[in-house]
Amino acid sequence: MKIACIGAGPAGLYFAISMKLRDSAHEIEVFERNAPGVTFGWGVVFSDQTVENLAANDPKSAKIIADEFAHWDDIEVHIHGETITSSGHGFIGIGRKRLLEILQNRARELGVGLHFNAECDPADPKWNDYDLVIASDGANSRFRDAYADAFGVDIDVRRNKFVWLGTPKVFDAFTFAFEKTEHGWIWAHAYRFAPDCSTFIVECDEETWRGFGFDTMDQAEAIAACERLFAKYLDGHKLMSNAAHLRGSAAWLNFRRIKCERWSSGNVILLGDAAHTAHFSIGSGTKLALEDAIKLAEVLNRKGLSLEAAMDEYVAERNLEVLKLQNSARNSTEWFETLDRYLNFEPLQFAYSLLTRSQRISHENLRLRDREWLEGVERWFWKRATDGRSNKTAPPMFAPFRMRALQVENRITVSPMAMYSATDGTPNDFHFVHYGERAMGGAGLVFTEMTCVSPEARISPGCTGMWNDEHVAAWKRIVDFVHSNSKAKICLQLGHSGGKGSTRVGWEGNDVPLDDGNWPVMSASDVAWSPVNQKPRPMTRADMDMVRDQFAAAVRMGLEAGFDMVELHAAHGYLLSSFLTPLQNRRTDEYGGSLENRLRYPLEVFAAMRAAWPSDRPMSVRISATDWAGENGITPDEAVEIGEAFAREGADLIDVSAGQTWADAQPTYGRMFQTPFSDKIRNEGRLATMAVGNIYEPDHANSILAAGRADLVALARPHLIDPFWTLRAAAALDYRDIHIPPQYLNGMSQLARNLKRDAEAAAALRV
């Protein structure tokens, strides 16, 4: 094939090399606008995995690169005058200039034509003479932008400013230095990439940047200002720019997150940063570019594949990897953009939060990297959780948590789950066994399913209720069992289904109306959940009074039944949620419109419940922190305000769920996908939160808790299939100080023994 590569960055050069290695008959030319040796940036970091991939693809260049790598193990975080050092991180880095030099030499050796000082214009007809034009022209790709519609380009310009500098100061550790100034916080990411040189990226938000006047300074002034700001880390060394061709503030950039729906159009294929970028704080942009190049060369040389089929394979094989990396990169970008949230953390937790920011590194990864440091974090966590009384070194999920006079034994909760198995609202033997078993399974707190305050408040005829004496007696039997046979506390979730009521039991069709016997439903407005659901009656003031009083009466019955805690269900599109979300609430009175108005009725209900509930017992509220409908629905910022409003009325915990408020919502699922909302509400609103949503491993829970992303962690589906999830986690983590029902002691010790043996065998295999 006759191929042109636009741009001699890592992507273009390595693709040319990889193609030639597979078939030396390919005619490949690389066109670069700059002179050789002129490039932006300083060092780049790699992972071991990338090095292995390079070695498998081209052992020769991989060896030269690997021989020149700078290695370092430690990460140092400087914050509030303290330095937190953790080890075992195993980084490798190389200068960008040197990397490109090695790749240029290798490309030449393999017969690739290299043309420097060659600006390429996408409109030039000469590109039609090539079988393929590889647009490896970087994040600002002209070739991509020329056919933006064909590629489905999506660019998100992020808010922080950064500048990529170098310094002869040799940093022995990967260094994050956070400095508080009169204009706000500014920080540096610094790492060594050669025996005599380090990368030094300075980052801050736009306000701080303007406060310093970086927008009007020339490069020399900006560098001098950064030298003064970071003097104590530089030991008298200079900072240097190699973007001298950029004038003044242009050397400062805003990171541009680039995604493309399609990676090829006609004979043009996007590669590397031109197709997708990953924020510099996860150090994976060059990795993406190189691994793209390897895969593209591989599919293009597969025998018997048409170009179209090769591209399909390329996308199929790379898409997931790119998505995963861009997800991690987004988490990391957002961490630095929302730094304010974490600045009140103690330095140790701040460092933990920084290290786990992308969600790629977890609690157990940190234990493998630096056990001693991680155990220091665990001791710190336990000390805080017990007001200094405990010196325990143990996983955070087993630490107690206090809300008012209630102490829960550990941080794992059984999330509310409708069982649709009651008759006329009365819980029966199924519920007795179900809740009893989950309480014995070790969770610190068990939530009931949404228990409805009236017959009409039910989602389905199978929902549990709390509106008569029979219900009180049946719930009391369950609560008494939980209290006398476990250490778990039990929380009654109360709710009203609103416009999503009068439907079948879950497994016969979610949100599908009954075949017969439907009851009339009401909601904030007359917005039907879907075309097949009833149009609800907008609530009148009299309806509101009635329902408020039903909630308060149910709370009093909950007290009689002996519950430890009560939760108001104001999420998932049910009655109270229908007031909160602007998608369902179309009212024009004082209960609709502004957030203050939309909150009015849910807060009134909450206040009535709080008044009926003893002041020494806690209450929580479950909210949907987003409607997954962009700016048309509840935004995460509004969710913080919602949490704060309930906290002012006496909520001790915000149970942060998301979605299910609008049938056409577009949720983004994934591991721990709702936890970022809990993080936001907890750390911007300074509120206690519970995270929920696709959290299924003890490692997830420990990472969330130690990083301060939530105070409690709720698991729903994992508890459906394994009531003993918490005890099983205790066995796996070799944590002994948890209540085990005495009848089950033998089973627990056997499990712990077996898991320990398996872990030792796995560790031996790794060695």
Ligand X SMILES: Cc1cc2nc3c(=O)[nH]c(=O)nc-3n(C[C@H](O)[C@H](O)[C@H](O)COP(=O)(O)O)c2cc1C
Ligand Y SMILES: Cc1cc2nc3c(=O)[nH]c(=O)nc-3n(C[C@H](O)[C@H](O)[C@H](O)COP(=O)(O)OP(=O)(O)OC[C@H]3O[C@@H](n4cnc5c(N)ncnc54)[C@H](O)[C@@H]3O)c2cc1C
**Which residues form the interface with ligand X (CB under 6 A)?**
415-418, 449-450, 493, 506, 569, 571, 622, 657, 692-695, 715-718
Tell me which residues in 540-569 interact with ligand Y (CB under 6 A): none
Look at residue 692 and give the partner it binds from ligand Y, ligand X, none, a contact being a CB closer than 5 to 8 Å depending on partner kind.
Answer: ligand X
User: C-beta of 15: minimal distance to ligand Y in Å?
Assistant: 9
Q: Is 136 in the site for ligand Y (CB under 6 A)?
A: yes
Look at residue 348 and give the partner it binds from ligand Y, ligand X, none, a contact being a CB closer than 5 to 8 Å depending on partner kind.
Answer: none
Q: Is 138 in the site for ligand Y (CB under 6 A)?
A: yes
The helices-and-strands tally (H runs, E runs) of the chain is 25, 29
Q: Quick check: 524 and 538 in contact, CB under 8 A?
A: yes
CA 275 to the chain's CA centroid: 23
Q: Is 449 in the site for ligand Y (CB under 6 A)?
A: no
Indicate which single residue of 112, 289, 397, 479 sits in contact with ligand Y (rule: CB under 6 A): 289
Indicate which single residue of 86, 104, 167, 286 sits in contact with ligand Y (rule: CB under 6 A): 286
Indicate which single residue of 3, 7, 268, 624 sits in contact with ligand Y (rule: CB under 6 A): 7
Look at residue 7 and give the partner it binds from ligand Y, ligand X, none, a contact being a CB closer than 5 to 8 Å depending on partner kind.
Answer: ligand Y
Q: Quick check: 397 and 729 in contact, CB under 8 A?
A: yes
92: nearest Cα among 41, 43, 39: 43
Look at residue 33 and give the partner it binds from ligand Y, ligand X, none, a contact being a CB closer than 5 to 8 Å depending on partner kind.
Answer: ligand Y
Look at residue 415 and give the partner it binds from ligand X, ligand Y, none, a contact being a CB closer than 5 to 8 Å depending on partner kind.
Answer: ligand X
Residue 59 phi, psi (nearest 5): -55, -30
Q: Quick check: 145 and 211 in contact, CB under 8 A?
A: no
Q: Is 618 in the site for ligand Y (CB under 6 A)?
A: no
Residue labelled with tokens 């056919």: 147
Q: Is 287 in the site for ligand Y (CB under 6 A)?
A: yes
Q: Is 485 in the site for ligand Y (CB under 6 A)?
A: no
Q: Angle 96-109/10-22 helices, nearest 10 degrees?
A: 30
Rounded to whole angstroms, how far apart are CA atoms 17 and 15? 5
- The piece of 5-13, 405-413, 573-581, 585-593 that touches ligand Y (CB under 6 A) is 5-13
- The piece of 132-140, 150-158, 441-449, 563-571 that touches ligand Y (CB under 6 A) is 132-140
H or E segment at 477?
helix 469-485
Q: Quick check: 601 and 646 in contact, CB under 8 A?
A: no
DSSP secondary structure string for all residues of 355-396: HTTTSSS-HHHHHHH-HHHHHHHHHHHHHHHTTT-------G
User: C-beta of 521: minimal distance to ligand Y in Å?
Assistant: 53
Rounded to whole angstroms, how far apart are CA atoms 680 and 686? 9
C-beta closer to ligand X: residue 349 or 577: 577
Look at residue 729 and give its three-state secondary structure. helix
Tell me which residues in 254-273 interact with ligand Y (CB under 6 A): 272-273
For CA atoms 647, 652, 656, 660, the dihedral sign is negative
Look at residue 41 and give the partner it binds from ligand Y, ligand X, none, a contact being a CB closer than 5 to 8 Å depending on partner kind.
Answer: ligand Y
- The piece of 32-40, 240-248, 313-321, 413-421 that touches ligand Y (CB under 6 A) is 32-40
Q: What is the CA radius of gyration of the chain?
A: 29
Q: Is 602 in the site for ligand Y (CB under 6 A)?
A: no
Q: Quick check: 476 and 435 in contact, CB under 8 A?
A: no
Look at residue 669 and give its three-state secondary structure. coil
User: C-beta of 550: minimal distance to ligand X in Å?
Assistant: 17
Which residues, including other chains, have CB under 8 Å from residue 626's CB and lie 6 or more apart? Answer: 633, 634, 635, 636, 639, 658, 659, 677
Look at residue 621 and give the partner it binds from ligand Y, ligand X, none, a contact being a CB closer than 5 to 8 Å depending on partner kind.
Answer: none
Indicate which single residue of 17, 21, 28, 41 sits in contact with ligand Y (rule: CB under 6 A): 41
- Residue 696: active-site member: no
C-beta closer to ligand X: residue 11 or 714: 714
Sheet holding 27-31, edge to edge: 113-115, 27-31, 2-6, 132-135, 268-270, 264-265
- The piece of 38-46, 230-238, 323-331, 405-413 that touches ligand Y (CB under 6 A) is 38-46
Rounded to whole angstroms, how far apart are CA atoms 320 and 127? 31
User: C-beta of 443: minimal distance to ligand X in Å?
Assistant: 12
Set 14, 314, 574, 591: catalytic member: 574
- The piece of 16-24, 133-141, 244-252, 758-766 that touches ligand Y (CB under 6 A) is 133-141
354: nearest Cα among 201, 229, 189, 183: 189
Q: Is 167 in the site for ligand Y (CB under 6 A)?
A: no
Question: Residue numbers of the site for ligand Y (CB under 6 A)?
Answer: 6-12, 31-34, 41, 44-45, 119-120, 136-138, 142, 164, 201, 272-274, 280, 283-287, 289
The residues that are catalytic are 574
